[in-house]
Structure 1
């Protein structure tokens, strides 16, 4: 038997160090070739580190949250044959109990109730875990479990490495394991529990970028109300006529198109500001960042050359990038290089928001939810579909008047959707 040492790989683009975000294995685990061993975080994206060999994990080179240099020892695996271990590669041993499989710390962690639940335990898809054992689950699953009153440690996970999925919660409920429908004394008991969550990985990068943006840029926001009745009617018509063959359209590709057209008259919005060099770079290409929520936090995949895309082309690219981001598969290139950002919370968009700039960009357009309201049109009260755009700008580069005119231009294009396609 020999030892195969895997070093932190060179991810490219001059990156000298990365943050170890999560282990997918622990000491003693048997691994196979191409199995993902760990996630590491660069300044832009999460990167999977796969195993090049079959073998048994004998040592881990770091802990989640640790910043590791490229070329440092990441993990040691016992393999058949001589292996590749050199004297200089020998890592400091890490005991198995010090290196558990680390779930993503961005998760909303389940808090344990102060008193036991009184609902009877019945047969179902449950599993016995220690009271302090933290099951693997995504943030969305953890929040769903909290909302339903389910203790995750009682739910058997069917995902990789026993990860609890939404389907497992459904199965648990179907077997009568949850007492969410009937309040008990425990639901009203006093609670004094606390939870400390280390900020590492993607959450740390998001925190750093948001803090940097708010400290460096002179933010100001502008909100405008838009009548989207006509654009929604057009979208419904196009989906009915071409949805089966070309795919369904959401509002986002229309917004991307409106950005492209409006930027022809307001090129100062499609720019990056290097505040150290004191240089503004205006770009002809429109690379639209589309803010996307994922289990590890907010990511901004980029629709490149939106100025050269049709509605359906934009829609397909938005869908592809959003799926890649949510699955943690978006590449570094797909998450960088935007010139202006579009952010939307969909149905949860609220009435007004104040989005934070995606530096070094100078403009971000925020989309709020669509609501039906009575409006006065030509002296008559009619029901219209209304939506707010809440947008932010860097006042060091963009004047207030220009920002208002830019958003008014987008409003005119959306309220008269034929103008989106008039050259």
Structure 2
């Protein structure tokens, strides 16, 4: 599915949704092509009940069923002070974005393709020159200049680069270098070894609720950080969430992210936008309906879809084509999985509220309504934020070595083997 990027100002409300191109981010399928027709059947309550009875979605890792430890609800004062400090740093960088060391394409050896999108490809690369830091492997996003100009996406690309220059948070990817040549623009970020979350959901068929809590908490902290700095992410999905070698998450791909003025660091802001973009199954109804525009509320809706998918193994709103998916989203047509605990189902229901005025994350208490929800009770938020909490799953080192195998006859050098 090809992305289309219309040039649309945030203050410009479209007159006719049907005549306006849509920016769509591709979504991987949980099923093979042979199962496609079966998985896309009408998604009513009876069908879902029968499918759950026939399919065993048990997580093979029994240790993951162990409930996450700790003692209390989140210490909001600690996170408020931490966000205030990070906000100062971000605002300083946003006014005067930091520069990166000068590099050229000749300094990087392309090893393999990690992913491909509308703009171009993402490569695993190795830095072939010695530097003080010991980071040898990076992920390089290659953006084709001709396509950017033809699709009028210059502002999108510049915004993504500027955001990557300014953000500094443990659950967001880090930008190391950027450069250009006559054909392409290059964004060189850290290489996150464990692959995307979608791959792990597909491998295990679903996560336990304790494992889903661990990942959800990191996503919440990342969204809270972005919103506090006036950024709306707009493309939250498992394919954009990477797992590092310690089992923690890194959110990547800020191609749809937008800088907005958020009121009191909450998502119920006066600044709004009307651009239709994102991945269909994760798009909030206010993006589709387009009667009042939207703000950061869309990220909390996508969080509800993400939690549903992690715990159930499939997304709540599915269809044979985009129109059917959009119709299910606007009509709030989904069925709770019988595997959900009552607390899990309640949190998802409060995140997937079509009325933004009732959606968790958008109310008077902001993100506190989510972090203090009973589903997160006894979760050690500070340990997760500081990465001292033991992750429920860590990618196997052999899997990481396989991930960075080079193309052709090239082999890993001694330094590469050492860091594995």
Coarse TM-score class (shorter-chain normalised): under 0.3
- Hey, which of these two has a bigger chunk of strand by percent? 1
Larger Rg: 1
| More RCO (CA 8 Å, sep 6+) | 2
> TM-score, structure 2 length as denominator?
0.22
Higher helix fraction (1 or 2): 2
